[in-house]
Amino acid sequence: MKRFEGKVAIVTGAGGGIGSAIARRLSSEGALVIVTDVNADAANQVVNGIKADGGAATMIAADIARKDACFNLVEQAFGLQDRVDILVNNAGINRRGNLLSLSDEDWDISFTVNLDSMFHLCRAVLPHMIAGGGGAIVNTASQWGLYPAPNHIAYNTTKAAVAAFTQNLARDYAPDKVRVNAVCPGEIHTPMLEAGIRRSGRTIADLDKLVPFGRIGKPEEVAALVAFLASDEAAFICGSLVEITGAQAVA
Ligand SMILES: NC(=O)c1ccc[n+]([C@@H]2O[C@H](COP(=O)([O-])OP(=O)(O)OC[C@H]3O[C@@H](n4cnc5c(N)ncnc54)[C@H](O)[C@@H]3O)[C@@H](O)[C@H]2O)c1
């Protein structure tokens, strides 16, 4: 049975590693997926792939660092079928550094992209979800928001804030049947992780050894969790921060 037949889902950062896997997974289960990213080429490729597999998807390019872009994105998505059932706040950036090495710009843009975008997108989407009788929001936090890895103070602090934002939103809108949860991935093999290991001089095999499960995670594994949390099977899961780490507690 397809869990998202007749539903409309927005996935941010859907041109990237985890976001594209989420978009593919939701569409394979029947959703019309709004594939949105600041990188329009990457997002278009994802849409083409989904359509080639028989799914439904629409690309909307948006820089979610801009408040107006967040509102326009939601309004355009809503205009397609007069509904938005699922919002996956997945887009994120990772500026490496400690307090003294980070620039002001690194700090500010980390909060703008990783946290403020969720504030604006949720403000835009909530009235539609409430009017439609409910919905599901899944935010991408990080294991590092719960157990900080060294030298990533801006990233880790934004992800801790995403966790707190998720729990607050869930409490406030549970009475409206809008379920809000977050996933907290560990090391997942994506372009973001590839960029990180290039900077640190480590290899994937080095990272595999740090995970008790014996390997780092796959984007499809995060996508499966996001799909579960967005589905009616998770009807009573609200305000949860779900770790997906292969039992790794700290990087
Ligand atoms: N890969 C990991 O190990 C890992 C671990 C924990 C959490 N995460 C989180 O998962 C999410 C996805 O990460 P990923 O690893 O797939 O990275 P990625 O770099 O492959 O994908 C991120 C996507 O977000 C998009 N994006 C960045 N800034 C944007 C903006 N201003 N507007 C719109 N889109 C923008 C990028 O273009 C990119 O396509 C992020 O929130 C990241 O912090 C990743």
Torsion angles phi and psi, residue 113, rounded to 5: -80, -45
> Is the CB of residue 16 below 6 angstroms from any atom belonging to ligand 1?
yes
In a domain, 165, yes or no: yes
Q: What is the pLDDT of residue 1?
A: 72
Average pLDDT estimate for 168-172: 98
Helices 153-173, 117-131: crossing angle, 10 deg rounding = 20
Which CATH number do you get for residue 238?
Answer: 3.40.50.720
pLDDT tens-digit series, residues 19-38: 999 999 999 999 999 999 99
Question: How far does the centroid of ligand 1 lie from the alpha carbon of residue 190, in Å?
Answer: 9
pLDDT band at 199 (very low <50, low <70, confident <90, very high): confident
Residue 67 Cα to ligand 1 midpoint, Å, equals 18
Q: Could you give the C-alpha distances from 76 to 2, 45, 60, in angstroms and in order? A: 25, 20, 8
Q: Which of 24, 37, 96, 109 for a ligand 1 pocket mutation test, highest count of atoms within 8 Å of Cβ?
A: 37
Q: Is residue 1 part of a domain?
A: no
Indicate if ligand 1 lies below 6 Å from the C-beta of 37. Answer: yes
Residue 3 lies in a domain: no
Q: Which residues are catalytic?
A: 155
Number of domains into which the chain is organized: 1
Q: How far apart are CA 85 and CA 83, in angstroms?
A: 6
Mean pLDDT of 118-145: 98
Binding site membership of 142 for ligand 1 (Cβ less than 6 Å)? yes
Query: How does pLDDT run across 63-75, given as a tens digit for each residue?
Result: 999 999 999 999 9
Predicted local distance difference test score (pLDDT) of residue 56: 98
The H-assigned helical ranges of the chain are: 17-28, 40-52, 67-81, 104-111, 117-131, 143-146, 153-173, 191-200, 204-210, 219-230
Non-local (6+) Cβ contacts of 38 within 8 A are 61, 62, 63, 64, 65, 91
Q: pLDDT, tens digit, for every residue of 218-242?
A: 999 999 999 999 999 999 999 999 9
Residue 210 lies in a domain: no
Any domain includes 198: no
Q: In the numeric block, which tokens belong to residue 52?
A: 């080639």
Q: Is the distance from the beta carbon of residue 188 to the nearest atom of ligand 1 less than 6 Å?
A: yes
Query: What is the secondary structure of 198-222 as a DSSP string?
Result: HHHT--HHHHHHHSTTSS-B-HHHH
Domain that holds residue 158: 8-186+217-244
What pLDDT score does 251 carry?
A: 52
pLDDT band at 249 (very low <50, low <70, confident <90, very high): confident
* Residue 142 clears pLDDT 60, i.e. is over it: yes
Alpha carbon of 79 to those of 57, 65, 72, 210: distances in Å?
A: 14, 22, 10, 46
**Distance separating alpha carbons of residues 204 and 227, to the nearest angstrom:** 26
